[in-house]
Amino acid sequence: MARALSPRRAAEVRAALQMAAGATAALYLATWLRLPHPYWSVISAIVVIQTSVGGGVLTVARDRAIGTATGALVGALVAFVRPPGLESLALAVAVATATLAFLGAGRPWLKIAPVTATIVIAGGSGADGPASLAVDRLMEILVGSGVGVIAILALFPRHARQAFRLQARDAAGEAAALLALVCQGDPANAAEISRRHTDLKRRLDDLGKAAKNVIDLPGPQRETADRQALTRAFWRVRSDIVILGRGFQAEGASARLTPWAEDASRAVQRLEALSRGKPVEPLGPIDATLALSRAVEGDDMALGAAAIGLAHMHRDLDDLAGRFQDLRLV
């Protein structure tokens, strides 16, 4: 069914099936293991699987395991030493959560620790005691996180790669639209250019997260490195567009920058082709008549920005196109 849909809808169907299968498997496994709260396993599986949309599946699973273990240990220790009573319970929760929040600042692997500690402290007054509750909570999180990772690796393992491909092509299309708008040199487009710069930045942030999410198992990790290199090449292209904007958006500059605009249109065409999954010919070195020497002779700041930006664009866009080719995105 997924193949009959558009690439984007197929990716969404795969993500939905991963989620359904992972949540169901976590529920059955936690129940089979007789864990007291199987829903924690389901929640953990869902959290891990959600990261397949962008951002470090194994990292999230590891962070949840470490955070849960730390929170369970701290919570159990505090629950053992605190005296009975509501006031001591409130104080214990405050001290434990404050300490873990302080230690967890800037440490994502401790983000869930205060939650786990609170559950163990507050629930540890039952018949089973805090130690049993801490162990159960840890097992529930480990089961759910493990099921989530297995679901991603075993069910539609190519989903993350396809999501990365779609995001890379979308970023190329957005860069093409932005570059075309910049080279028009129309001051009336300033607000739209600013909006598109923000949108491209957001897309590139998401692309970087998606690059980390693709798991290459087994074998060499060359593709992982290339995905990160592709993201860096996109950022350089965006910087080139910023430099070009300083030239083309200068007051009265568009009329004398026509040759540079015509050359930039070649870059726009190549970005558009990449967005459609089509291979492109390299731009090669910038033509000598468009090089920076002309700007130096005439002391023309707008022309200088256009010349520098375009020279960098030739280099960086050729690198980007090569990355697309190496990763078989075109």
pLDDT tens sequence for the chain (330 residues): 444 455 556 666 777 777 788 888 888 888 898 888 787 788 778 777 776 554 456 667 777 788 888 888 888 888 777 777 778 778 888 888 888 888 877 777 777 788 878 877 777 555 556 777 778 777 888 888 888 878 777 765 556 677 788 899 999 999 999 999 998 888 888 899 999 999 999 999 988 877 776 665 544 445 555 888 899 999 999 999 999 988 888 877 777 788 888 999 999 999 999 999 999 999 888 887 787 765 555 567 888 888 888 999 999 999 999 999 988 888
pTM of the model: 0.61
Residue 288: count other Cβ atoms within 10 Å of its Cβ: 8
Cα distances (Å, whole numbers) of residue 290 to 161, 280, 294, 305: 39, 22, 7, 11
Distance CA 134, CA 120 (A): 6
Region label for 83, one of left (φ > 0), alpha (ψ between -120 and 50) or beta (otherwise)? beta
The long-range contacts involving 167-171, CB below 8 angstroms and separated by at least 24 positions, are 167/54, 167/203, 167/206, 167/207, 167/210, 168/207, 168/230, 168/234, 168/324, 168/327, 168/329, 169/274, 169/275, 169/276, 169/277, 169/329, 170/203, 170/275, 171/200, 171/203, 171/204, 171/207, 171/234
Residue 54 near residue 202, CB atoms below 8 Å: no
User: 97 and 84 in contact (C-beta within 8 Å)?
Assistant: no
Listed residue (112, 131, 108, 110) closest to 121, CA to CA: 131
Polymer length of the chain:
330
Residue partners of 237: CB distance under 8 A and separation at least 6: 175, 271, 313, 316, 317, 320
pLDDT of residue 54: 45
Q: Which residue has the tokens 């967005």?
A: 275
- State the DSSP code for 125: T
Nearest to 136 by CA among 51, 58, 84, 75: 75
Structure tokens at 7: 């690439």
Nearest to 295 by CA among 239, 262, 253, 267: 253
- Kindly state the DSSP code that residue 155 receives in the 8-state scheme: S
Task: Cis check for the bond before 7: say yes or no (omega within 30 of 0).
Answer: no
> pLDDT digit string (tens) for 102-130?
887 777 777 778 887 887 777 755 555 67
Rounded to the nearest 10 degrees, what angle do helices 57-81 and 113-123 cross at?
Answer: 30
The pLDDT of residue 313 is 93
Which pair of structure tokens corresponds to residue 249? 């958006």
Distance of alpha carbon 191 from alpha carbon 185, whole angstroms: 13
Judge whether 266 and 178 are in contact, CB under 8 Å: no
Buried-state track 98-128, b at ≥16 Cβ within 10 A, e below 16: eebeeebeeeebbbbbbbbbbbbbbbbeeee
Closest to 273 in 3D by CA, of 176, 183, 164 = 176
> What's the rounded Cα separation, in Å, for the pair 164 and 34?
38
Alpha carbons 254 and 317: distance in angstroms, whole number: 23
